[in-house]
Structure 1
Amino acid sequence: MRAGLLAEFETPEAMLRAITELRGRGYRRLDAFTPYPVRGVDEALGLRRSPLPWIVFPFAIAGAAGGYLVQWHNNAYDYPLIVGGRPAHAAPAFVPITFEMMVLATALSGFVAMLLLARLPELWSPVFDVPGFERASIDRFWIGIDARDPALIRPIAERDLTALGARAVAWAGKERR
């Protein structure tokens, strides 16, 4: 959220009720800022599941295939060592490294994909300038309505948020014209 309306609530229950009511009134670009995970916020905001598993799955398969291929190439094709009657291509011996390469590729691709999906690192955001917003990491619960939400009409939204029990309502970022 680069700009929008922020409302402060004292309890997670009040915040959840407000989110549900705002969604019922047609607001779709909502966000929640809480000091700890609150059960039910994802459903109330209408968030979809993360695409991260589908992004990292091909990298996991490629990592496992690459790890197996390197072992096969080195041990069976390029430099075969016949020791103790063991065949040059002994698939069970390749399982641990294949698994570890899959885990490594998944972890690295997952980390990079997560950073890209979350648009991180974001060192500063306009919401940080809202007075009292620092308490979002201590004991306050905030709802943000993005300025790009077509249902957002500032005076009406401020009145709605105050009626829903918001302690404070503030604008973050540049005013839209």
Structure 2
Amino acid sequence: MTPRFYGVVGRFETPDALLEAIRCLRRRDRHLRLEAYAPYAVEGLSEALDLPRGKVPLFTLIGGVLGGASGFFMQWYAAVVSFPVNIGGRPLNSWPMFIPVTFEMTILGAALAAVLGMLAVSGLPRLHHPIFDAPCFGLATRDRYFLCLRPPPGMPGPAPAKQYREVLESLGATASDEVWT
């Protein structure tokens, strides 16, 4: 299997330098594929990267609605169809009695859908990522900030690698390296 070019990763010393580099790159080209890595949450990073809205809230809503509907249907079926018991002349479909279980099933369905949706959207579990092979990338969990420039989809070969390295170093990256898959 021949290695494929993944991108160029640059190392920055401070979060402000990382954010400024991202803003400069976004001003130059809105459609650049950028990935940023930091040891902790950096305020303004997701806005600077211009990340799309996540799909996890939609999964959570759908899971909650399905969980609540299935909880209500399960109780309704048991009380009205499967085993109807007339107690004191009360109606078989006494919906106020079904509210607590319906609520709990809504919460359960939403929580499960949120976790499974998060795993599906983020591509987890992923045991290896090409960026892990970049020199000094272990510092991303301690005290350094990394920015990866990726070529547009469909571009063959490492054509923009030298250009990306020059751009990153001109924006203040202390080091830049090519990443291959």
TM over 0.5, yes or no?
A: yes
Gaps of 5+ in 1: none
TM value normalised by structure 1 = 0.88
Instruction: Quote the residue 1:119 is aligned against.
Output: 123
Instruction: Quote the residue 1:162 is aligned against.
Output: 169
Tell me, yes or no, if structure 1 residue 99 matches structure 2 residue 124. no
RMSD: 1.9
Tell me, yes or no, if structure 1 residue 19 matches structure 2 residue 44. no
Instruction: Quote the residue 1:74 is aligned against.
Output: 78
Instruction: Quote the residue 1:47 is aligned against.
Output: 51
Gaps of 5+ in 2: none
Cα deviation, residue 76, structure 1: 2.7
Report which stretch shifted further, 101-110 or 134-143: 101-110
TM value normalised by structure 2 = 0.86
CA distance in 2, matches of 1:134, 1:85: 70
Cα deviation, residue 72, structure 1: 1.0
Instruction: Quote the residue 2:132 is aligned against.
Output: 128
CA distance in 2, matches of 1:146, 1:94: 53
Cα deviation, residue 123, structure 1: 0.3
CA distance in 1, matches of 2:62, 2:130: 36
Structure 1 residues 94-126: Cα deviation after superposition (integer angstroms, max 9, x where no partner): 111101111112222222221111111110112
Q: Number of paired residues?
A: 172
Cα deviation, residue 85, structure 1: 5.2
How many percent of aligned residue pairs carry the same amino acid? 37
Amino acid paired to 1:133 = F
CA distance in 2, matches of 1:130, 1:154: 14
- Does the residue aligned with 2:146 lie in a helix, a strand or coil? strand
CA distance in 2, matches of 1:83, 1:168: 77
Runs of 4 or more, structure 1, over 4 Å off, are: none
Amino acid paired to 2:22 = I
CA distance in 1, matches of 2:138, 2:45: 20
Instruction: Quote the residue 2:6 is aligned against.
Output: 3
Structure 1 residues 65-115: Cα deviation after superposition (integer angstroms, max 9, x where no partner): 111011011123322334455433221111111011111122222222211
Tell me, yes or no, if structure 1 residue 87 matches structure 2 residue 94. no
Amino acid paired to 1:57 = L
Tell me, yes or no, if structure 1 residue 58 matches structure 2 residue 65. no
- Does the residue aligned with 2:96 lie in a helix, a strand or coil? helix
CA distance in 1, matches of 2:22, 2:80: 61
Instruction: Quote the residue 1:172 is aligned against.
Output: 179
Amino acid paired to 1:163 = S
- Does the residue aligned with 2:135 lie in a helix, a strand or coil? coil
